[in-house]
Amino acid sequence: MNNIQGMKHSLIQCRSAMLLWGFMLLIAASPLLADGRLPPPGEARQKGEGQVWIPGWREGPLMQTARSGAAAVEVDGVIHLIGGVDGKNFLRSSEFIRVGAGGDLSEWSQGPALNTPRGFFSAVRHKGFVYVVGGGQGDYGKTLLDSIERAEIQPDGTLGEWTIEQFRLNTKRRCTKVAVIGNHLYAFGGFGGTLLDSVERAEIQPDGTLGEWAVLVDNMNMARYIHGVSRAHNRIYMIGGHDKVRGVGIADVEWSQLDDEGWLAPWQFSGALQTGRYGLATLQHGNYLYALGGLDGAAYLESIEKAQINPDGSLSGWRYTTPLASRREGMSAAVVNGTLYIMGGTNLTGYKRSIEYASFNAQGDIGYWATATEAAIKKRERDKKETQKKILPNEAVVVTHLKAARYSYLEVQRDDGLSAWLAGPTAELPAGTRIQFPNGVVMRNFYSKELKRNFPVLMFVGELRIVKQSESKQIN
């Protein structure tokens, strides 16, 4: 199966519109990037004499299987990566990697297989067990799942065989997010035939089994889908997600906590992201929440935002910190002993087997301590990357320009006569304007409610650049 077909199984299957990852046939694809490797972290995460702070990432051992939309959970220094999509199939397999006391990483080892292939689901640990909840499988992820599987944690941090729980969710949920609060396992939002704002929970019994699931009376303030969830200081935060109407990422963040009767208090908004995003990873470390990567609707994101948690549970303004090593969505994240690990995911170059890691400094920014020599090497790499960003691979002339609130919809024609429709940042681009643009996210049979028009094939791009007399003007 080629790359275009394989990309059909990406995280965007979570969307009812059924997006297709890949390139438009008339646009040349950029080459795959080879995965490189750097030494394990060892003691480098701690500041040593003569060392400097590098805002960047190291690379660890490649995973056995490329995975996007997988579930990750950390158990006593062992990171488990479960299920997901490899670009062709939904997976039953799992694998794990050990993090040593000094941060050294083992090679990846095979773990127990799920009973049901599943992707776009969540996992959580509670005491002696790990639980996986919901997800999707089958052609394009159309088969929604309501089942829960449980595995016992072994003394060495590995997992026992997966067993299927007796009680199922009340609503089948793809891309639901889960958390344990008190003695209950909660499932938040997702897609169940429509985007969901509902929450349900099941009591965790003394033997680790789950009781019946009950739907809570109070819903979240908005439907959350392909979103992020983080628990911090006995509070639960919903971060980002997908706006189905506008086809863009949600910037809104809301949170709740248990009230005196053991139920979730009414949800309240706090501290919107600077960039609306879906397909992101989220995590909590120290007194900060983090939102990593994803998509904004037009482009894959490499940016990371952090927000400080205030004593009352509200969030300070989100600020950008060190970006990811590459643009991606559908990746998994875990923090072990103060080191952040990013695993898998996908972007326009394909599905990832890579694992990258970095630490946090006192300000909550991401990077690592290293020698001045390595810092100089990393700076040259960053400069080269920034130079490459200035080169856009595609050029065409605007034929038709349809304006909407968020996007400019452009019919463009290449010099060889081939034409296509793009959606990019709003701009003044009259017919006849020559533009450059990157490869983007392809959607088929996309219906714009603003324009009341269907586009058989539409590519969303994150940048449009006017070409004029060998000079270019970037459009933000």
pLDDT, tens digit (0-9, with 9 covering 90-100), for 399-454: 999 988 778 999 999 999 999 999 988 889 999 999 999 888 888 888 888 888 99
User: What share of the chain has pLDDT > 90, as a percent?
Assistant: 70
**pLDDT for the residue 46:** 58
Contact between 280 and 177 (Cβ < 8 Å): no
**pLDDT for the residue 288:** 97
Please, which pLDDT band fits residue 96 given cuts at 50, 70 and 90?
very high
Contact between 78 and 97 (Cβ < 8 Å): yes
Asked if residue 217 has pLDDT above 50, the reply is yes
Query: Buried (b) or exposed (e) across 444-466, using 16+ Cβ within 10 A?
Result: eebebeeeeeebeebbbbbbbbb
Please, which pLDDT band fits residue 48 given cuts at 50, 70 and 90?
low
Q: Which residue has the tokens 């449980």?
A: 150
Q: Which domains are delineated in the chain?
A: 37-386 (2.120.10.80), 394-475 (2.40.50)
The pLDDT of 381-392, averaged and rounded, is: 75
* Exposure on the CB side of residue 336, measured as CA atoms within 13 A: 25
| The amino acid at 120 | F
Q: CA separation (Å) from 208 to 145, 151, 156, 159?
A: 21, 9, 19, 14
Please, which pLDDT band fits residue 373 given cuts at 50, 70 and 90?
confident
Please, which pLDDT band fits residue 47 given cuts at 50, 70 and 90?
low
The span from the CA of 341 to the CA of 359, in Å, is 9
Output the CA angle 109-113-119, nearest 5 degrees.
100
**pLDDT for the residue 407:** 85
pLDDT, tens digit (0-9, with 9 covering 90-100), for 328-355: 999 999 999 999 999 999 998 899 999 9
| The amino acid at 253 | V
Computed over every residue of the chain, the mean pLDDT equals 87
Q: CA separation (Å) from 395 to 279, 400, 412, 451, 458?
A: 29, 15, 9, 25, 16
> 160 vs 476, which has greater pLDDT?
160
Terminal CA-to-CA distance of the chain, rounded, Å?
36
> Which of 201-215, 359-373, 401-415, 457-471 bottoms out in mean pLDDT, i.e. has the lowest?
457-471
Contact between 277 and 295 (Cβ < 8 Å): yes
**pLDDT for the residue 442:** 84
pLDDT, tens digit (0-9, with 9 covering 90-100), for 232-242: 988 999 999 99
Please, which pLDDT band fits residue 389 given cuts at 50, 70 and 90?
low
**pLDDT for the residue 49:** 66
